[in-house]
Amino acid sequence: MTTIQNISITGIGSFLPEKKLTNSDLERMVDTSDEWISKRTGIKERRIVESGTASSDLAVKASLIALEDANISPSELDLIITSTITPDYFFPSTSCCVQEKIGAVNAGAFDLLAACAGFVYALSVAYGFISAGIMNNVLVIGSECLSKITDFTDRSSCILFGDGAGAAVVQKSPGAGESLGFVLGADGSQSELLILPGGGSKIPISQQVIDERLHYMKIRGTEVFKIATNTLVNLFNETVKKCGIELDDIDLVILHQSNLRIIKAVMKKVGMSMDKVFVNIDKYGNTSSASVPIALDEAKREGRLKKGDLVMLAAIGGGFTWSSTVLRW
């Protein structure tokens, strides 16, 4: 076990757009039903940004709440890390957009792309920078406008995704959020199972890309379900081993909110009660890298995080990438 001491999460915040897209709304858009979506995914509604809203706009809202919660000003930040698969631009980074908008004049800024696993990836980078003595105050963000890359003519994928942002302030100080260790992993051989094919350097944007709808996410759901479930089960076991604890020691589990069936299958296979899991996928759908910090913020506000609790954060996403940590609250 390698406990990262005297580093804590001093502030958390999240922001969701007001506009809701319900299963009933989707019934009028594609050949689907509320019953089918609810049974297959656990999702009832998701939030969708208005036209003209970017990931940085959501990130700013969540970040200002987190900074207020931490009782520090933007000018005190040393670094901003944003995890996103829906950046405002290829460049500059979304973190630079956030840096300018919140007035974090003394902060460096960069983005990190690890899809749904990205927030915990970014959190590990923040803890590493602070542990090494390079930084003291780091803002970690997960922000997504997935509706911008969702094909709303594809009934198998458009039911899954929503928009939102969550943020955490990580500081060099004793307090809640001491990490018992991080696990990061990847398997690039499975990358085509969940991918946005068009728009990058391999398949640059063109009229053909648009005509073939390659500028939208593509997902092979059945295969993703199997890999995600098995990988998360292995991740649970690897995480508790690395952190020097037992599964029974964990008080609260915050999993990436991808699919309620995946969450239930994982918890059943590892022998843990669903009572230990925080779930909000019914309200927001899959918000990729934003889902873990949004859930962490809601868990705190609902009183689910108690002093001394061991809280596990875990996620798997496109790449494939996976990440986890156990925090002592």
Helix axis angle for 94-102 and 55-70, nearest 10°, is 50
d(CA 253, CA 78): 30
* Residue 145: active-site member: no
Residues 6 or more apart whose Cβ sits within 8 Å of residue 41? 159, 160, 259, 260, 261, 281, 285
* Residue 116: active-site member: yes
Catalytic residue among 116, 145, 158, 243: 116
Question: Would you state the structure tokens that stand for residue 256, as one six-digit string?
Answer: 């990436």
Catalytic residue among 137, 158, 256, 259: 256
CA-to-CA separations, 35 to 157, 160, 271, 280, in angstroms, rounded: 16, 14, 28, 18
* Residue 215: active-site member: no
DSSP 292-321: HHHHHHHHHHTT---TT-EEEEEEEETTTE
Sign of CA dihedral 80, 68, 166, 23: negative
Identify the H or E element spanning 35: helix 34-41
Q: Active-site positions?
A: 116, 256, 286
